[in-house]
Structure 1
């Protein structure tokens, strides 16, 4: 759920095809956030924010939906490949027990935001405070399995991904004209407010033992098919949402850097997902896309109206489309983004990319 320098096609392809890091195969992986990283928690809840029916899913020919808001793998799945590990199961999955706990857990829930009133229309979702509470509960289960000392080592040594913020704009501030939050705050005041709330969330995550956390920025919200359908006449990105993103992302980076200074270590790493996504949106031919405006699955202008369902228009060539549905990227786009997570310069990952993190942490474990 958005840049000037464009990564050459060759570099992009090399990043996408990069081999997983086998040295980190035993490292646990925890995921927090919204639909961009939810791998099935909401499918155990009574909510409209679900992706458990075709055409969603990895194995589309057999119509086996997997709960990802994508035509295939999402960002956590692809990161797990690079870790040399199986994907962490959704926390609500009954299969998350025994040795599966050692892999980690995905606590993300589609529709949530930084604020508790974000996504209220979806009713029954796992708000971020509840995700953190589930993380505490997970650690109790882990301690029962491996003992307190080993459980602490697993949590402290884990990689953590958190993705929040997009819904606080599209499913809160800009959800309806004259929303409660837009009457309460001008956008230039709303952004510092949610940034300050996000700082509390990250601080709590650190208190709960997270020591390597990738914090993603907000992507090009004004350029997604849903917003083009509502606001665009000739395919131009929605100006208000683009302005909001341009305010939010730099303040997020500054907040994270300040938090690291207080801690005295680079616990939190920022991912410039706005730029990562905008690279292929602004130069689709460099990445093999023929369509970066229309969703593969949907209806209405740009296929950006409503949900992706079995009754929707569905494109024939998913490799040619950057967006799967009204808000979410295709697996191909997700792989481009994770390629930058792994190998991107400090313009994309600050203060270091994921390959560097894995190498540094592996070296520290050997000392």
Structure 2
């Protein structure tokens, strides 16, 4: 999540491609699967590094626990959710779409189109200036398909995309970086919180249908996390360490409606194309009882300043905890790598309380039979 981006799907796969004769790329081997990622800072693998924007994570101590120990543009001390899902299914991480290394065979692994700061609405994140808004991400997905078609042909590209896994993470920024950004905002004046939530769900439905029209057939759709419980919200809205009431109300309104919308879409399409990822329940587990998950706190960010280390952004001059594994939050908005691992394990094997109508392990098993 973030005031750089927000809250809290997924995936790719192992690809098996062979070069034939004069450098032509052969179709992927049976069973190979691409992974496509859309959304905000929770899943951005570095696209914002290539943009003129303040919503970026390209300086220390970001990436302190990444294998290179250097910042990568991920809003994490190490791996983020897409990376960890890739590992679970035996694939390499997808590259950011704007990364110049995303060429040739690497295109067949998939691509990450996410951009920190964006939301469902185009006016979300305007303070970050040059970010890749969601409909632009979808345009880049079309461009990606044209590039892959030049490599393996139109029919094989269609098959690659249809069989691919998709993760999309939107919604949190529409609240924290739009509706609740200041005590008085244009959207607050325009809509009550329930009305604003209905607007978001209506617009999100259009985005998901556009993804379907572009060939996506297995889409993990995350809801928001517990918006009022992140260190940034505790720092500015909480007087006693309790989760901030209004953002929590927003999450409580948004997430059930998202599940209902996904159920309706799947019924309309006659297939379980979209899978709801109940991020708020996943995170509530370790926010409500951090010690049970090996965390010393779920209130104080590892990196930051001010109350709960929740003020401003994580920089080289911020307070920095020595052991990231015992903190649920890395910076004022984003989980640590270890918290992300807990989330991803639940995505893989969680019950329908967390993954509706099925978890990722079930999806992989089902799809391997077709």
TM-score between both structures, scaled by the size of structure 1: 0.92
Of 295, 299, 322, the residue aligned with 1:289 is: 295
Distance 2:301 2:140 in 1: 34
Distance 2:86 2:261 in 1: 27
Of 57, 74, 80, the residue aligned with 1:74 is: 80
Distance 2:228 2:14 in 1: 35
Bigger share in helix: 1
Q: State whether residues 58 and 66 of structure 1, in contact with CA within 8 Å, keep that contact through their aligned partners in structure 2.
A: no
Of 79, 82, 89, the residue aligned with 1:83 is: 89
Q: Structure 1 99/22 Cα, relative in aligned 2: closer, same or farther at 3 Å?
A: closer
Q: State whether residues 34 and 108 of structure 2, in contact with CA within 8 Å, keep that contact through their aligned partners in structure 1.
A: yes
Match for residue 323 of structure 1? 329
Q: State whether residues 304 and 325 of structure 1, in contact with CA within 8 Å, keep that contact through their aligned partners in structure 2.
A: yes
Distance 1:343 1:22 in 2: 23
1:10-25 mapped onto 2 (5 Å cutoff): none
1:84-123 mapped onto 2 (5 Å cutoff): 84-123=90-129
Distance 1:58 1:158 in 2: 31
Q: State whether residues 296 and 325 of structure 1, in contact with CA within 8 Å, keep that contact through their aligned partners in structure 2.
A: yes
Match for residue 10 of structure 2? none
TM-score between both structures, scaled by the size of structure 2: 0.91
Distance 2:37 2:345 in 1: 18
**Residues 315-356 of structure 1, C-alpha deviations (whole Å, 9 max, x = no match):** 011011000000000000000000000000011000000000
Match for residue 359 of structure 1? 365
Segments of 5+ residues of structure 1 without an aligned counterpart are 2-19
Distance 1:82 1:188 in 2: 37
- CA deviation after TM superposition for structure 1 residue 92, in Å: 0.2
Match for residue 147 of structure 1? 153
- CA deviation after TM superposition for structure 1 residue 150, in Å: 0.8
Q: Structure 1 25/124 Cα, relative in aligned 2: closer, same or farther at 3 Å?
A: farther
Q: State whether residues 218 and 274 of structure 2, in contact with CA within 8 Å, keep that contact through their aligned partners in structure 1.
A: yes
Match for residue 183 of structure 2? 177
User: Is 1:334 aligned with 2:340?
Assistant: yes
Segments of 5+ residues of structure 2 without an aligned counterpart are 2-12, 17-29
Of 253, 261, 275, the residue aligned with 1:269 is: 275
Match for residue 167 of structure 2? 161
User: Is 1:196 aligned with 2:208?
Assistant: no
Runs of 4+ in structure 1 deviating by more than 6 angstroms, as ranges, are 20-25
- CA deviation after TM superposition for structure 1 residue 168, in Å: 0.2
Distance 1:58 1:174 in 2: 31
User: Is 1:127 aligned with 2:160?
Assistant: no
Aligned residues: 346
User: Is 1:214 aligned with 2:207?
Assistant: no
RMSD: 1.6
**Residues 223-252 of structure 1, C-alpha deviations (whole Å, 9 max, x = no match):** 000000001112100000000110000001
User: Is 1:45 aligned with 2:47?
Assistant: no
Of 214, 233, 240, the residue aligned with 1:227 is: 233
**Residues 235-279 of structure 1, C-alpha deviations (whole Å, 9 max, x = no match):** 100000000110000001101110111111000000100000000
Q: State whether residues 25 and 84 of structure 1, in contact with CA within 8 Å, keep that contact through their aligned partners in structure 2.
A: no
Match for residue 241 of structure 1? 247
Match for residue 12 of structure 1? none
**Residues 74-128 of structure 1, C-alpha deviations (whole Å, 9 max, x = no match):** 0000010012111010000000010000000000000000000000000000000
Q: Structure 1 60/209 Cα, relative in aligned 2: closer, same or farther at 3 Å?
A: closer
- CA deviation after TM superposition for structure 1 residue 134, in Å: 0.2
